[in-house]
Amino acid sequence: MESTSNTRPTRRTILDFLKRNGAVSATLLAKELGVTAMAVRQHLYALQDQKMVTTTSQAGQRGRPVKLWALTAEAQDLFPNAHQDLAVELLNHMSSAFGEQGLHTIIDRHSQSQTKTYAAALQGINRLSDRLQQLALIRSSEGYMAEVQADGDDWLFIENHCPICAAARQCTHLCSNELQVFQSVLGPELTITREEHILQGPRRCLYRIKAN
């Protein structure tokens, strides 16, 4: 049995894995973590008691159902949220003080500043894969849990968490600007489309990046 001192970090690792990968079986989770399925299940049942994870069943081979484990809505509070209550309150105050157009102007200026910061960090990096990896590092440091995956000739830029989700729901201009920031930073020779969007229900935001 795992020692008490290792219990908390292991459970946090499980939560982080589920956040990045979505619903998975205990067997797959054990394989990824390099521990036994029994040990993983002990942690999962403890997390279930804490209302951090939930289960669904999926048909497996030979018709046998497979139990899949995923995060609950309560577990989302464990990940960075960039002071969402304060952000929403500030958006409301700015909208009241400056109107909707004034709010958009402020957000546009923030996006311009963000673009300059990202562009400076990517300066001198020429290969697209390296540029994407650097951008993922920056976004992860901001709480987005970003990663990059190759998909044939395309690249997938994935953000497994949105630390400004509540603010983005309040003002969707934040999300539309995010796509423009990526396009400006990575260059006009690329086509960037958002294929999954947390605000529309998926567990992550996924951007497909194609060379024109």
* Domains by residue range for the chain, with CATH: 4-78 (1.10.10.10), 84-211 (3.30.1380)
| Residues 199-207, mean pLDDT to the nearest whole number | 93
The sign of the dihedral angle between the CA atoms of 178, 183, 184, 185 is positive
**Strand order through the sheet with 65-71:** 24-25, 65-71, 53-59
pLDDT tens for each residue of 86-107? 677 888 888 888 888 898 899 9
User: What mean pLDDT is predicted for residues 16-29?
Assistant: 92
The CA distance from 52 to 15, in Å, is: 8
Angle at 22 between CA 118 and CA 76, to 5 degrees: 70
145-168 per-position pLDDT tens digit? 999 999 999 999 999 999 888 888
Q: What SS3 state is found at 52?
A: coil
The radius of gyration of the chain's CA atoms, rounded to the nearest angstrom, is 20
Q: What is the value of pTM for the model shown?
A: 0.78
CA 50/CA 183 separation, integer angstroms: 41
